[in-house]
Structure 1
Amino acid sequence: MTFVATGGLGSQIGNHTDQVVEQLGRAIVSGEYPPETMIPLDPDISEMFNVSRTVVREAKKTLIAKGLIQSKAKVGTHVRPSSEWNMFDPDVLRWHSVLKNSRPFLEDLFEIRLIFEPAAAEQAAKRASDAECAALGKLCDNLSTGQDRAAVAVADLEFHKMVLKLSGNRFLQSLGDLVQTALYSLFIAEANERNDQETYEFVARHRAIVTAIAKGDAEAAGEAMRAVILAGRRIELST
């Protein structure tokens, strides 16, 4: 495993615990420490990062809470199966999104979006007011006026979060905040820019969501959201 040079964390990073969590978490998610294997002992981690054992213990508590590791007295600390990780934890999502081989993660991510975002759009069509529909329309406009890839990514993030908010369901809103955080990092990392035709189609698919919600057509809103997600999946999984 590749670590920051000895003394680097101690001299440059204020929150040592967060940095240990970050590096160990990334190493676990990337497979440097496969499931069921042991991570180094506390004294070894302390030396690797040039931090106190108290910091190491706090970092391990955080990773335990995220479901990544399990610690047993007189046995040590081992990595839990990936099926037991908390995939709704923002850090775990982020660590997955930057993997070199992120395809399995992306497939799972798009699958769960297909489960709950069309449902959110359907509920939004039943509940959104005229003013809220107008606000959603303005967010859609931002998709075509963004100056660069990052601006469009932010606009797309805000659009989807707004749909989830308009669903009126707090659980859907919470799910969206976490999943969209991962999607934002994927958009930023994508090198290819859309051409004019692709941009037109991209905006038109989102505009169909706005139109359906404004008309109160729940079925059409759900289908329009599904079309947006499927188009995104085709693009992301083909790169």
Structure 2
Amino acid sequence: MAVSDGAAFRRVLDGLGLAIVGGDVPPGSDDTVDRIVERTGASRSVVREATRVLVSLGMLTAGRRVGLRVRPRDEWDLLDPQVIRWRLESPDREAQLADLLGLRLVVELEAAARAAAHSTPRETAELRATAQALAGATAARDRDGFFEADRRFHGTVLRLAGNAMLARLAGVVDEALRERVPDDHLRWSVASSGVELHSAVADAIAAGDSDGAARLMRRIVDPGASTRAPQGRAHRVAMVESPPGMGGSSASVSAPIDE
């Protein structure tokens, strides 16, 4: 696909995806390739390719007689990073943030605990190096470097859990991390506090401390958790609802952590 076609494809795909996610085109609505071509000014090949992607994501059905039809949200691939990004850019943003936080509270805490049980010294050295890279990017206020180091850290924890299905969720976690890349003085200050927690998670995993790794990861994923009522591990795994956002906790790593 040529560069110009690639730009047109992205424009058409994002436009259709956002229209569906935002409710401008509700479930059950019908459309055709010809009408989309007319509306967007894109070529038929570009529109066909964009609709194929939406069909693969469970957002559209395609048939000769009915054309294109929007499917209900519970049939969408809600774990696909593209769908997540569209939801974050839509009126559904707050619900998507809450969904991401709930998923991370279930998945990343367990991944940290499993990583502590399974990781080798070489793997934990890699994790510690990534935590150091995150610290360096934070000190330099390098947004791109921060995101890259943050996504590598969390992706590495998922991989070290020793479960291929957990590792496949790295793309979902990436979208949550993209949302919290600092962009002002206050958020950089909060990020600086979180850097110590990343190093502490790496240390707990290296020490084989599953409970400690999970507790510390919870403070990264949900910064306000340490100020709420004590949570046992069984409750922590079951918990799927918590307010979205960065939070404002700046407790040091050495502060007591309730369990």
Distance change >3 Å, CA 153–CA 235, structure 1 → 2? farther
Residue among 68, 73, 81 paired with 2:72:
81
The answer to whether residue 17 in structure 2 is matched with residue 22 in structure 1 is no
Select 2:90's aligned residue among 95, 99, 103: 99
> Given that residues 97 and 244 in structure 2 are in contact (C-alpha distance below 8 angstroms), is that contact kept between their aligned partners in structure 1?
no
Contact 2:223 2:246 in 1 (8 A): no
Aligned AA for 2:24?
E
Q: What are the superposed Cα offsets for residues 102-157 of structure 1, whole Å, 9 maximum, x if unpaired?
A: 11000001111111111111111011112221221121122222122332222211
Q: Give the Å deviation of 1:218.
A: 1.0
* Residue identity opposite 1:24 in structure 2: L
Match of 1:206 among 192, 198, 206: 198
| Structure 2 unmatched runs, 5+ | 225-241, 249-259
2:156 to 157, 162, 167: 162
1:59 aligns with 2:50: yes
Q: 1:111 aligns with which of 88, 91, 102?
A: 102
**Structure (1/2) with the larger helix percentage:** 1
2:104 & 2:86 partners in 1: Cα distance?
A: 19
SS in structure 2 of the partner of residue 78 of structure 1:
strand
AA partner of residue 156 (structure 2) = M
Q: Which amino acid aligns with 2:155?
A: K
What TM-score do you get using the length of structure 2 for normalisation? 0.76
Separation (CA, whole Å) in 1 of partners of 2:175 and 2:81:
8
- Matched positions, count: 227
Contact (CA 8 Å) 1:13, 1:19: kept in 2 or not?
no
With 216-225 and 106-115 compared, the bigger mean Cα shift is at 216-225
* 1:27–1:196 Cα change, 3 Å: closer
User: Identical aligned pairs, as a percentage?
Assistant: 32
- Does the 8 Å CA contact 2:127/2:153 hold for their aligned counterparts? yes
User: Structure 1, unaligned stretches of length 5 or more?
Assistant: 1-9
Distance 1:24 1:199, change over 3 A: closer
Report the RMSD for the aligned CA atoms in angstroms: 2.8
Per-residue deviation, residues 55-106 of structure 1 (Å, max 9, x unmatched): 4333322211101112355344322111211012222122223336511000
CA separation of 1:215/1:138 partners in 2, compared to 1, >3 Å: closer, same or farther?
A: same
Post-superposition offset of 1:42: 2.3
Q: Tell me how far apart the structure 2 counterparts of residues 66 and 43 of structure 1 sit (CA, whole Å).
A: 21
CA deviation string 1:197-220 (max 9, x = no partner): 634421222222112111101111
> Counterpart in 1 of 2:176?
183
Moved segments of 4+, more than 6 Å: none
Deviates more, 1:19-28 or 1:81-90: 19-28
Q: Secondary structure at the match of 1:144?
A: helix
Shifted more, 191-200 versus 165-174: the winner is 191-200
- Separation of aligned partners in 1, 2:187 and 2:20: 38
TM-score for both structures, normalised by structure 1: 0.82
Q: Does the CA-based 8 Å contact 1:67-1:85 persist in structure 2?
A: yes
1:41 matches 2:32: yes
